[in-house]
Structure 1
Amino acid sequence: MEDKAKAASGNSGSQADQPARSRVDTGTLGKAISVLDIVASAEEPMRFTDILAVSDQPRGTLHRQLSNLVEEGLLSLGRDHAYSVGIRLLKFAAKAWAGNQFRAIAEPHLRALHDLTGETVHLGVLRGNEVIYLDKVESRQAVRMYSQIGNASPVYCTGVGKAAMSALPEAEVQAIIATIKFHRFTDSTLITPKALMNEIETIRESGNAFDREEHEPGIRCVAAPIYSVDRSFVGGVSVTGPAYRIPAATLEGWAGLVRNTAGAVMEDMGARLGPRT
């Protein structure tokens, strides 16, 4: 309220004060985004003390940030006093995905791959040491895998993640690996930098990455990298399904189809998003 009163009066501060207020506003926005990121990245709703434990903000500042975000509809506060993503933020996300050019370019190719395999097809993009799923074509089978557009998964134990990393220069791969906190999700999970690097070298040679029940028990996938010419944009496409329905031989048989799909997406990206002459 005080800031609004000063702005309205027009005489409460000199013009020299303006840059300082801009810097404060920018810092406040950054803090709010940091809080949003913590809550949105959590696997389940978080209480205030949970957020405080992983945030670098003082208790009072964090409480104000959370209250403002709830008031704006970007976060939701449940009856159990736990915070989760708000409806307004979901609307923003849905709008972003709907207007994403990469997603629109890839969609017909994803559907064509789905028609050939009958299993779930994912499109993901690399963000730090995670993969964000941008699109999904659901399996035709009665038993389907659980996944959601917008979800993030670790790069080191997912087909799309490992495929995306294989497209990066060595230095960038090493930089990402240095940020990974390896966790054993299953008996098949790669849990050392050396094992992951060896896997990436194999992927570079074959053009395909495999998730052999490394992230979730009973779930397999085959993936291939998608990237821009300058590697500023890196992602991947995959076919995923339950291990009981997809033997290893079937997954290997789909490897070429997935590579072809990735190649077709990249070709369209170059034609539609590349520099114009």
Structure 2
Amino acid sequence: MAPRKGTEGENDTGTLGKLMVLLDLVTHAERPLRFTDILAQANQPRGTLHRQLGHLVEEGLLELDADGRYSPGLRLLDLAARSWAKNEFRLIAEPHLRALQAMSGETVHLGVLRGTSIIYLDKVEGQQSVRMYSQIGNASPVYCTGVGKAALSVLPDATVAALAAAIPFQRFTEHTLASPESLLAELSDIRREGCAFDREEHEQGIRCVAAPIWTADHSLVGGVSITGPAYRLTMERLAEWAGPVRAAAESIMEGMRIRLGPRR
């Protein structure tokens, strides 16, 4: 969408930021939102908000139905699909994800660190599909997911401490780490072993083993994991798969070094 200048003293950067807030509100809502719903959350003047929503509808980023409700537009889906298809990190990782899935028969994830969350970039479904939260594009907390903890383990101590202090720890299950101290203690084990485990910490009945992926300058930090139901994935089985997961992570990093070269 071409930059637009507001009529109330907004500069282009401010306008773009406000448009992104609106996109976030609508796309994260559980149902389509009316103008009054958005007005209550957006903290913008009524006239400015009406104009900006109109711009987003014109560009196909939002849709407005006959009942006056706003929902994500199809152009967002097209942009996301194009971005996903051309993502070099995902392309480099894809054959290694499929190899892990073929070896284990379970679901394999690829994720990247964004703040205190892990964003799933790719997912190869297991041979026996299991209902779980993870979907491409979804975000999960770093402190109770295997990929999240693996990613944190390669960051400098000061960065980890700052992130841990910013995490709003919430118990999802009885196994969830519930404090910065418990997270930092587990990260020490992960650094020593080179892999992380999710012991039903985010979803009851779901376990995983993960290994970190990162670039030398930490411009990209993430991880790869094998995930499945606890009744199939005993801790002994996950420990057996730790080696292949670490090897896949190393192969992905080597592929990134070769393909991306100086840009990283």
TM category (shorter chain) comes to 0.7 to 0.9
Q: Structure 1 CA distance, aligned partners of 2:165 and 2:38?
A: 25
Q: In 2, are the aligned partners of 1:145 and 1:242 still within 8 Å (CA)? A: no
- Which residue pairs with 1:30 in the alignment? 17
> Structure 1 residues 273, 62: closer, same or farther in 2, change over 3 A?
same
Counterparts of 1:139-218 in structure 2, within 5 Å, are 139-143=126-130, 145=132, 147-218=134-205
Paired residue for 1:259, among 226, 243, 246? 246
> Structure 1 residues 212, 49: closer, same or farther in 2, change over 3 A?
farther
Q: Count the aligned residue pairs.
A: 258
- Which residue pairs with 1:220 in the alignment? 207
Displacement of 1:236 after TM fit? 0.4
- Which residue pairs with 2:100 in the alignment? 113
Counterparts of 1:228-247 in structure 2, within 5 Å, are 228-247=215-234
Structure 1 alignment gaps of length 5 or more: 5-17
Displacement of 1:144 after TM fit? 5.1
What SS class does the counterpart of residue 110 from structure 2 fall into?
strand
Bigger Rg, structure 1 or 2: 1
Query: Does 105-114 or 45-54 show the bigger shift?
Result: 45-54
> Structure 1 residues 172, 82: closer, same or farther in 2, change over 3 A?
farther
Query: Does 132-141 or 183-192 show the bigger shift?
Result: 183-192
Displacement of 1:26 after TM fit? 2.7
Q: In 2, are the aligned partners of 1:124 and 1:133 still within 8 Å (CA)? A: yes
Q: Structure 1 CA distance, aligned partners of 2:167 and 2:49?
A: 27
Paired residue for 2:83, among 78, 81, 96? 96
Query: Does 139-148 or 225-234 show the bigger shift?
Result: 139-148
> Structure 1 residues 22, 52: closer, same or farther in 2, change over 3 A?
closer
Q: Structure 2 CA distance, aligned partners of 1:179 and 1:187?
A: 22
* Residue identity (%): 64
Q: In 1, are the aligned partners of 2:130 and 2:228 still within 8 Å (CA)? A: no
Displacement of 1:60 after TM fit? 3.9
> Structure 1 residues 39, 204: closer, same or farther in 2, change over 3 A?
farther
Counterparts of 1:39-54 in structure 2, within 5 Å, are 39-40=26-27, 42=28, 44-45=30-31, 47=33, 48=35, 51-54=38-41
List per-residue Cα deviations over 1:69-96 (Å, max 9, x = no partner): 2332212346776544322101101100
Displacement of 1:53 after TM fit? 4.9
> Structure 1 residues 79, 269: closer, same or farther in 2, change over 3 A?
same
Q: In 1, are the aligned partners of 2:109 and 2:123 still within 8 Å (CA)? A: yes
- Which residue pairs with 1:136 in the alignment? 123
TM (normalized to structure 1)? 0.84
Counterparts of 1:67-106 in structure 2, within 5 Å, are 67-77=54-64, 83-106=70-93
Displacement of 1:46 after TM fit? 5.7
TM (normalized to structure 2)? 0.88
Displacement of 1:61 after TM fit? 2.8
Q: Structure 2 CA distance, aligned partners of 1:195 and 1:43?
A: 32
Q: In 1, are the aligned partners of 2:100 and 2:108 still within 8 Å (CA)? A: yes
Q: Structure 1 CA distance, aligned partners of 2:231 and 2:146?
A: 18
Q: Structure 2 CA distance, aligned partners of 1:51 and 1:155?
A: 29
| Residue 61, structure 1, aligned to residue 30, structure 2 | no
What SS class does the counterpart of residue 140 from structure 1 fall into?
coil
Q: Which amino acid in the other structure matches residue 101 of structure 1? A: E
Q: In 2, are the aligned partners of 1:144 and 1:241 still within 8 Å (CA)? A: no
